[in-house]
Amino acid sequence: MPDTDQYRLPRTVTPVRYDIALSPDLARASFTGEVRIEVEIHEPVDEIVLNALELELAEADLDGTAAAGITLDESTERATISFAEPVQPGHRHLRIAFTGTLNDKLRGFYRSTFTDDDGNERVIATTQFESTDARRAFPCWDEPDLKAVFGVTLVVEDGLLAVSNSPVVEERDLGDGRREVRFGDTMKMSTYLVAFVVGPLEATEPIDVDGVPLRVICTPGKTHMADFALEIGAHSLRYFAKYFGIRYPGEKLDFVGLPDFAMGAMENLGAVTFRENLLVIDPERATRNELENVADVVAHEVAHMWFGDLVTMKWWNGIWLNEAFATFMELLCVDDFRPEWDRWVTFGLTRGAAMVIDAMESTRPVEFEVHAPEEAEGMFDVLTYQKGGGVLRMLEQYLGSEPFRSGIVRYIDKHQYGNTETTDLWDAIEAATGEPARSTMDTWIFQGGYPIVSVEPGGEAGEIRLSQRRFRYVESSDDSLWQVPILWRAGIGGEVASGRVLLSEREAMVTLPGKPDWVVVNAGGWGVYRVRYAPELLRALTTDISHLDKLERFNLVSDTWASVLAGTTAPAEYVELVRLFRNESDPAVWGAIASSFSILRRTIPVAERPAFERFVRDLLRPQVERLGWEPKAGESELDAELRGSLLVALGWHGADAEVVAKAQQVHEQYLADPTSVEPNVAEAVATLVARHGGESEFQAYLDRWRNPTTPQEMVRYLYRLADFPNEGLARRVLDLAITEVRSQNGPFVIFFVLMSSEHNALAWDFIEEHWDDIHARFTEPLIPRMLEAVAWVTDADLAARIRSFLTAHPLRSGQQTIEQAMERMDVHVAFARREAAQLASAFDA
Ligand SMILES: [Zn+2]
């Protein structure tokens, strides 16, 4: 028997439709329920097997005939309902009555709480089912390809709002302080997309988006901060209906913001759930980046309504395509929503983070075989979202966006209401474009890593030689090959020429129309690979970097820094390159530079830090002087963002005392009147004040976190508590993280303390000491996220302790993320060992 049977239900009986009736008791944290499932019995059976977990099944019958027995197997998460007489094939109705608990682990049917304006604790009952937690709320065939129609009925106390996937079709007063709320039938869909939320919540009036009523639902008193989510929500609905050429598959759309939520958001059809701070936002008070986060998440979830909900993966190995595609679509849509944000350029930063991890020995292919559903839990990482989204963009740009779109339209149209494998998408794109999408993408999806493409002058004038090898930070032999879609651009005798080539062998010669004055490989910057130019080509290119567009400049910085960490470029050469960026005005390019600064600052011995700090000040001053502290009339949103991030870099990496003093003054002003400070500056000064703050500032931060005026402010002041330099305060923050802080945020608080070069050893002691408390309190997927901060450790002794502890205490899921973080830590430790002693000299002008 193949071992996959353990995870796949027998197909002798399959569901057609579920009628689910649930009565949650919020005060007692429990629920009772009954499900009637219309099933198709395909062959005679004497038992019916389906999924159930942490439920008590009280009774069951089939077309009125009581079951002879009901057994639950916790290890397989299954219920077996047996019958005295064999059941004959046909259409039948299985009824099961059950009870369950509203848990506190943010999965299945769970409790979320908040304190209302009168200081009372209020409870919300809500759901999170992906990947396999629908079985914790009702017995079901909990596999993505066993799609069915769902009819949900909720019995709720008066005064509570009830939401599910479809609109309410009937409400009945039960006369005992409760109402029965019946929702319309859903389309045929997977169990993991079912949702219900009950609680003392408020909804905005629905807005009509081409016939789709759209609302935001949140805890009371916040609906005035719903407009931005509604705006991007409406934009996304229209954008995707047009892109896919198919109307929105639900009947209404609600965005529900929750105080406790494990993930960022969840694409339940028609009832998308969110972390509150990723939905509810005041544009007058938010940074550009916070607005971008909300726009991204909303667009991403709306894209899933088609790609994921209407067309769904057959099994959990397909998670990557589901998520990578939604990420790609989110970027397309947000770029259309706010073209001035240059969303594809800012994507460089997150894609860059994936490329760092993907250069590790412990990386993984984007797609891999999955037996147990929990094996796919490791797929919810940057390799899926960012690398996956990046390779889709690379393919789209190589094929052209219209031919690519016609392949997608073909795919959605052919598979709607059904389930697919990854290859179905490539086949549709091939059919639409006539290009070898499948063989090209297989090299990016089924093998880990990515190449570095070397560019050298060819033998003849006008030729360049391209070659590929796997990029690694550590020397190793590897003969992987990719089919690398390469776009190039060259300056030839005052004219600009461009072209494309698919590099599928180890090397290839490309003939340009003439001898180039300069040449850019990975033109546009869409390739998920690095480029290394021969010295004379690099010199020609950097003589005037205005030949490069933003993402190309970003890549030049990012690729060069990667080769510094790999030991193939000297830090001094990198510093020389960075000096060329004094007039840079793009925040993403500066983001790449700033992230290298945080490693350089940790590595350089404290006594020699002034050389580095001087270099940073010289580099940043021209831009900071251009921008000033006050917003200028009519300035771009990117300039506003850049002002904030450069002030932080100047105050922190540059140790600029004047900037720090001014930040303290501006922060006082912010606390007195939050509307008096431009939001990006407000965030910057909150960061700088924390990094130089003491007890009284700490109290002010605690107070802002506990009594925030916006969800973003709550998160900002909570996470910045981790930045205070005093060790006693850092201890208090760590204690708060496992006590008062919501369990959805605690892991990130610990992450930030662990990431700091000042308190990482302290944070590590705390983690070892409270390992069991941490596991008891935090939902499992957030623990590897917390531990990822070890990647920034540069101290060899601490690194050794971390490695030995994490090797002795492996996680049940997410261990690969831990391995990757430890390998990054090793890269940083090796860099420090190799370079620390002479690093200061790199900054001498
Ligand atoms: Zn998603």
- Residue 732's nearest CA partner among 719, 742, 721 is 721
Residue 376 C-alpha to ligand 1 middle, in angstroms?
A: 14
Give the pLDDT score at 3: 46
pLDDT digits (tens, 9 = 90+) for 753-763: 999 999 999 99
- Only one residue has tokens 């050429």, namely 245
Q: What integer is the mean pLDDT of 485-504?
A: 95
Bridge partners of 649, per DSSP, are: none
- Residue 834 has a CB neighbour count (10 Å cut-off) of 14
Please check the confidence at residue 43 and state whether its pLDDT lies above 90: yes
The whole-number average pLDDT for the span 823-836 is: 97
Give the per-residue pLDDT at 813. 82
Average pLDDT over residues 796-821: 95
- List phi, psi (to 5°) of 257: -90, 130
Residue 294's CB is within 10 A of a number of other CB atoms, namely 24
Q: For residue 83, what are its two tokens?
A: 């019958």
Ligand 1 centre and the CA of 326: distance in Å? 6
4, pLDDT greater than 60 = no
- In the numeric block, the tokens 């290119």 are attached to 541
Output the pLDDT for position 461: 80
d(CA 315, CA 308): 12
CA 677 to ligand 1 center in whole angstroms? 34
pLDDT above 90 covers what percent of the chain? 95
CA-to-CA distance for 66 and 95, rounded, in angstroms? Answer: 9
Centroid of ligand 1 to alpha carbon of 815 (angstroms): 21
Query: Can you give the C-alpha Rg of the chain in angstroms?
Result: 28
Residues 6+ apart with CB under 8 A from 59: 66, 67, 70, 96, 97
Q: What's the pLDDT score for residue 719?
A: 98
pLDDT band at 826 (very low <50, low <70, confident <90, very high): very high
- The pLDDT of residue 764: 98
pLDDT at residue 427 above 60? yes
What pLDDT is stored for residue 674 in this prediction? 95
Q: Are 478 and 458 in contact (CB under 8 A)?
A: no
Give the 3-state DSSP-derived string for 222-284, with helices as H, strands as E and coil as C: CHHHCHHHHHHHHHHHHHHHHHHCCCCCCCCEEEEEECCCCCCEECCCCEEEEEHHHCCCCCC
Distance (Å) from CA 192 to ligand 1 centroid: 13
From 448-452, 524-528, 777-781, the region with the lowest mean pLDDT: 777-781
Using the predicted structure, report yes or no on whether residue 421 has a pLDDT greater than 60: yes
**pLDDT tens digit string along 186-211?**
999 999 999 999 999 999 999 999 99
How high is the pLDDT of residue 537? 96
Q: Pick from 721, 714, 799: which is nearest to 114 by CA? A: 714
C-alpha 142/C-alpha 131 separation (Å) is 9
Phi and psi torsions of 704, nearest 5°: -65, -40
Query: Measured in angstroms, how far is the CA atom of residue 451 from the centroid of ligand 1?
Result: 27
Distance 665 CA to ligand 1 centre (A): 41
Average pLDDT of span 354-381: 92
CA of 308 relative to ligand 1 center, distance in Å: 8
Mean pLDDT of 302-306: 98
Task: Measure 5 CA to ligand 1 centroid, in angstroms.
Answer: 27
Three-state SS letters, 695-708:
HHHHHHHHHHHHCC
CA of 322 to the centre of ligand 1 (A): 7
Yes or no: say if 817 and 747 are a contact pair by the CB < 8 Å rule. no
Q: Of 206, 427, 244, 264, whose CA–CA distance to 329 is shortest?
A: 244
Read off the pLDDT of each residue in 28-56 and give the average, rounded to a whole number. 98
How close is the Cα of 321 to the center of ligand 1, in Å? 10
Q: What is the per-residue pLDDT for 845? A: 66
E-strand stretches of 451-521: 451-457, 463-470, 484-492, 495-503, 507-511, 518-521
pLDDT, average across residues 628-641: 96
Q: What SS3 class is residue 751?
A: helix
Does residue 72 contact residue 52 with C-beta atoms inside 8 Å? Answer: yes
| Interval between CA 323 and ligand 1 midpoint (Å) | 5
Catalytic residue among 130, 276, 290, 301: 301
**Is residue 1 predicted with pLDDT exceeding 80?**
no
Q: Is residue 788 annotated as part of the catalytic site, yes or no?
A: no
Do residues 186 and 166 touch, judged by C-beta distance below 8 A?
Answer: yes
Band the pLDDT of 810: cuts 50, 70, 90.
Answer: very high
Token pair for residue 186?
């859903």
CA of residue 573 to ligand 1 center, whole Å: 40
pTM of the complete model: 0.96
Burial (CB < 10 A; 0-12, 13-18, 19+), residue 536, is: exposed
User: 277, 716 in Cβ contact below 8 A?
Assistant: no
- Give me the amino acid identity at 576: E
- From the CA of 221, how far away is ligand 1's center (Å)? 28
Is the pLDDT confidence value at 510 over 50? yes
Beta carbons of 635 and 595 less than 8 angstroms apart: no
Do the beta carbons of residue 490 and residue 519 sit within 8 Å? yes
Q: Is the peptide bond before 131 cis (omega within 30 degrees of 0)?
A: yes
Query: What percentage of the chain exceeds 70 in pLDDT?
Result: 99
Instruction: Measure CA of the first residue to CA of the last residue in the chain; give whole Å.
Output: 69
**Length of the chain measured in residues:** 845
Q: Which of 169-178, 361-370, 430-439, 454-463 has the lowest mean pLDDT?
A: 454-463
> In this structure, what token pair is assigned to residue 338?
């706010």
What is the bridge-based pairing of β-strands 196-199 and 178-183? unpaired
